[in-house]
């Protein structure tokens, strides 16, 4: 049978030696002012919109960045259904009339603009590619509409911690 008294003393002495590791270190004099820390979501709205649109479209279709983008009714419908939920994360205001615009109206306007102007949505080799179409679409939306991301954290939360809507 082992001698537990020496074992206990050994453990206690080792813990006492290690206690210095767990003591609080003194402050270095520089305390972080958490109110002044920049929000991590500080990238420009057009970049956030472009990335979100591409990720939604890529998840729905499996299309890569430099795949050829067809301009036909089937692609229009697939594109619209894929990216409309991403546009719901933003609020849009028409800059000329100063009125709020729905996501579907913004998408219809931007898609019509991209589809009818043949020079838009093309890469350097003059081919319509997925990333070129999405970049031009996001640029057009942010130029024509005042686009702001909706802060989902600011909404009223229920007791589970989720937004009520």
Please provide the size of the chain in residues.
165
Query: In this predicted model, what pLDDT tens digit does every residue of 126-137 receive, in sequence order?
Result: 878 888 889 989
Query: In this predicted model, what pLDDT tens digit does every residue of 27-58 receive, in sequence order?
Result: 555 555 545 555 555 678 888 999 999 999 99
Report the pLDDT value the prediction gives residue 156, as an integer from 0 to 100.
60
How far is 60 from 20, CA to CA, in rounded Å? 55
Higher-confidence residue of 72 and 123: namely 72
**Ordered DSSP codes for 73-132:** HHHHHHHHHHHHHHHTTEEEEETTTTEEE-HHHHHHHHHHHHHH-TTSS--TTS--BHHH
Mean residue pLDDT of the chain comes to 78
- The answer to whether 103 and 84 have CB atoms below 8 angstroms apart is yes
Q: Is 83 left (phi over 0), alpha (psi -120 to 50) or beta?
A: alpha
Residue 113 clears pLDDT 60, i.e. is over it: yes
């Amino acid at each position: 049978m082992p001698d537990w008294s020496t074992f206990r003393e050994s453990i206690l002495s080792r813990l006492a030696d290690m206690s210095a590791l767990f003591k609080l270190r003194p402050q270095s004099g520089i305390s972080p002012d958490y109110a002044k820390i920049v929000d991590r979501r500080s990238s420009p709205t057009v970049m956030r919109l472009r990335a979100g649109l591409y990720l939604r479209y890529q998840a729905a279709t499996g299309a890569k960045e430099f795949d050829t983008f067809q301009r036909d009714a089937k692609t229009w419908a697939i594109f619209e259904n894929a990216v409309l939920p991403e546009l719901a994360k933003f609020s849009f205001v028409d800059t000329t009339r100063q009125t709020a615009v729905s996501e579907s109206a913004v998408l219809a306007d931007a898609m019509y603009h991209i589809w009818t102007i043949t020079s838009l949505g093309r890469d350097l080799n003059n081919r319509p590619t997925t990333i070129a179409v999405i970049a031009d679409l996001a640029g057009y939306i942010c130029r024509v509409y005042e686009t702001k991301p909706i802060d989902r954290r600011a909404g009223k939360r229920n007791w589970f911690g989720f937004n009520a809507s």
